[in-house]
Amino acid sequence: MTKRQQRMAAIGALVVGLGLAATLGFTAIRKNMMYFYTPSDVAAQAPSADATIRLGGLVVAGSVRRGEGLRVAFTVADCESEVPVHYEGILPDLFREGQGIVATGRVGTDGVFTAQEVLAKHDEEYMPPELAEKLTDENGKHSCAEFKRVVQS
């Protein structure tokens, strides 16, 4: 082989190697990517049954039902739509009706979200931007008073 042919072979091998590395990297990123959905997003177009997503919203008052062991069923809403959620595990200390949560899991073909993890927000002011936009009125205040926890004095 001449020097020119050796250089061309080396450049070809480099291009093939970079293409393979990019393909493997993008595949790994795509498999590990989780999208954030609100109940309205799920109602409008449910993600595929094999897609792991994050579902965020407020726990509807009166919807928490405890089952055997660590099984819990509740409903998450965003003022427009509701999604039933099933979870088996220990809930966070801050979990309660009217509280904002983000749950990781999958939507079944029956429309029930099966959560693998449930996180409760710890700050009254913070919530994901997509959810905050759905829950605020024209004055910038939360418009879903029926989902908020009522504090008795």
Output the pLDDT for position 148.
45
Tell me which of 152 and 37 has the higher pLDDT.
37
126 in a known ligand binding site = yes
Question: pLDDT tens digits for 57-103?
Answer: 888 888 899 989 899 999 998 878 889 999 999 998 888 888 888 99
In sequence order, the β-bridge partners of residue 83 are: 76
Domain 35-147 coded CATH 3.30.2420.10: no
Share of the chain above pLDDT 90, in %: 31
Q: What DSSP string describes 48-67?
A: PTT--EEEEEEEPTT--EE-
Give me the phi and psi of 129, to 5 degrees please.
-55, -40
pTM of the model: 0.65
Is 70 exceeded by the pLDDT of residue 34?
no
